[in-house]
């Protein structure tokens, strides 16, 4: 049987099993450096654009849910009062799933602007990497962001039976929800940076060889997204951290 050729990330995966240097310290350093650069003009521009698009999409979704609920009730012959109630319930349901909706929209939006964040971090800290980087075309950024958002919604919906079963444990539900979304977010953040530096054929091997670090990165990003107020800047901070971790820990 012919074994597939080992890529550099398969080799790193084996190396990572032996390498127990302080990943937590590297992550803390990436977090600190990312916070320090939030005031850079390039990062502020991305923050402004991402916040504007995120709020616009959330408002559009809220209005759509309101009118869709009322229209559906009207289609079934409900009166104005019941139609108004249905519209309210549809909006309330959207708010109940608000974090998941916000999480999906946030990853979609940061997917659109991730290349700008990564370029700003590389310009300041990794100029050699910036010089060799291949900017990600907008169409690919849109496809990656939309794919990440879709994956977030579908995987969480598929996991609903597990979430419901975990309700009986008292603490299992938030832990399960956190683990699932940390895995998803870690994958998406890693891909956003790797797309600038790796050919597509190497991305699967990159994901296999960097699972642990990307899960830790996704866990921090997921935690930040849970904090009101902080969640507005969390996608940019997480993308910046992913850039530092890519160049410091995720590549040989």
Per-residue pLDDT in tens (0 to 9) along the chain, 252 residues:
444 454 554 444 443 433 445 566 788 899 999 999 999 999 999 999 888 888 888 778 767 766 666 566 556 555 555 555 555 555 555 555 666 777 788 888 888 898 999 999 999 999 999 999 999 998 999 999 999 999 998 998 898 888 778 877 777 778 888 889 999 999 999 999 999 999 989 888 888 888 888 999 999 999 998 888 888 899 999 999 999 999 986 655
pLDDT of residue 251: 56
Q: The pTM is what?
A: 0.78
Q: Are 7 and 196 in contact (CB under 8 A)?
A: no
Tell me whether residue 235 is exposed, middle or buried, using C-beta atoms within 10 angstroms of its C-beta: 0 to 12, 13 to 18, 19 or more: buried
Tell me whether residue 164 is exposed, middle or buried, using C-beta atoms within 10 angstroms of its C-beta: 0 to 12, 13 to 18, 19 or more: exposed
Query: DSSP label at 246?
Result: I
- The full length of the chain comes to 252
pLDDT of residue 161: 85
pLDDT of residue 17: 39
The dihedral formed by the CA atoms of 31, 191, 247 and 179, expressed in degrees to the nearest 10: 40
Q: Are 166 and 176 in contact (CB under 8 A)?
A: yes
Three-class secondary structure of residue 213 per DSSP: helix
Alpha helix locations (H) across 19-137? 23-36, 41-75, 80-96, 98-125, 127-132
Please report, for residues 58, 139, 155, 185, 189, the alpha-carbon distance to residue 37 in angstroms, rounded to integers and kept in the order given: 27, 27, 33, 21, 18
pLDDT of residue 20: 41
CA 252/CA 230 separation, integer angstroms: 32
Query: DSSP label at 170?
Result: S
């Amino acid at each position: 049987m012919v074994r597939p050729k080992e890529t550099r990330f398969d080799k790193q995966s084996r190396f990572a099993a032996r390498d127990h240097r302080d990943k937590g310290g590297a992550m803390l350093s990436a977090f600190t450096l990312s916070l320090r650069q939030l005031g850079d003009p390039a990062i502020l521009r991305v923050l402004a654009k991402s916040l504007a698009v995120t709020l616009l999409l959330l408002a559009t979704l809220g209005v759509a849910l309101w009118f869709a609920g009322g229209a559906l009730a009207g289609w079934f012959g409900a009166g104005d009062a019941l139609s108004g109630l249905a519209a309210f319930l549809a909006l309330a349901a959207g708010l109940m799933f608000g974090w998941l909706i916000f999480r999906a929209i946030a990853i979609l939006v940061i997917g659109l602007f991730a290349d700008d964040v990564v370029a700003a971090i590389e310009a300041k800290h990794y100029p050699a990497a910036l010089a060799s980087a291949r900017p990600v075309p907008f169409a690919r950024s849109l496809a990656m962001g939309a794919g990440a958002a879709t994956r977030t919604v579908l995987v969480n919906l598929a996991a609903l039976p597990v979430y419901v079963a975990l309700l009986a444990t008292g603490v299992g539900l938030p832990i399960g929800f956190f683990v699932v979304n940390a895995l998803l977010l870690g994958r998406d953040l890693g891909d956003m940076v790797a797309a600038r530096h790796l050919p597509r054929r190497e991305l699967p091997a990159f994901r296999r060889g960097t699972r642990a670090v990307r899960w830790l990165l996704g866990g921090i990003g997921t935690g930040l997204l849970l904090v009101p107020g902080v969640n507005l800047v969390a996608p940019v901070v997480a993308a910046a951290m992913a850039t530092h971790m890519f160049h410091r820990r995720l590549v040989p």
